[in-house]
Amino acid sequence: MAVIKFTKDNFDAEALQSTKPVLVDFYADWCGPCKMVSPLVDELAEESDAYKVGKVNVDESPDLAAKYGVMSIPTLIVLKEGKVSQQAVGARGKDAIRKMLA
């Protein structure tokens, strides 16, 4: 499944109302560690249909970043039934990100 670009316009429908767990990557184009995590997130999106994967550009959607208390990027959160079940700040390896979805 392709990575979804989350914005304030589609976040409720795509992420909060999802019946599957949702991995959300809060990032910015200028962020070095974000550039390391981004391809891993992309790979995870293609590996399984058991979850959704999306990204929030904090420069384009500061309201979403604020809603989830994102102070540093990259921040990864997993939503289950519309609620945060996991959160990690900083670069992570692919296995660590995958475990967040378990």
Work out the widest C-alpha separation in the chain, in whole angstroms.
32
Which one of the listed residues 23, 24, 34, 56 is annotated catalytic?
34
pLDDT one-digit tens code per residue, 23-65: 999 999 999 999 999 999 999 999 999 999 999 999 999 999 9
The full set of domains in the chain, from first to last, is 4-101 (3.40.30.10)
pLDDT of residue 90: 96
Which residue is listed with tokens 């990575």? 3
Spatial CB neighbours of 42, under 8 Å, sequence gap ≥ 6: 3, 53
Q: Is 51 tagged catalytic?
A: no
Q: 51 to each of 36, 39, 76, how far by Cα in Å?
A: 21, 17, 14
Q: Is 86 tagged catalytic?
A: no
Which one of the listed residues 3, 22, 31, 79 is annotated catalytic?
31
Nearest to 12 by CA among 2, 1, 3, 24: 24
pLDDT of residue 102: 86
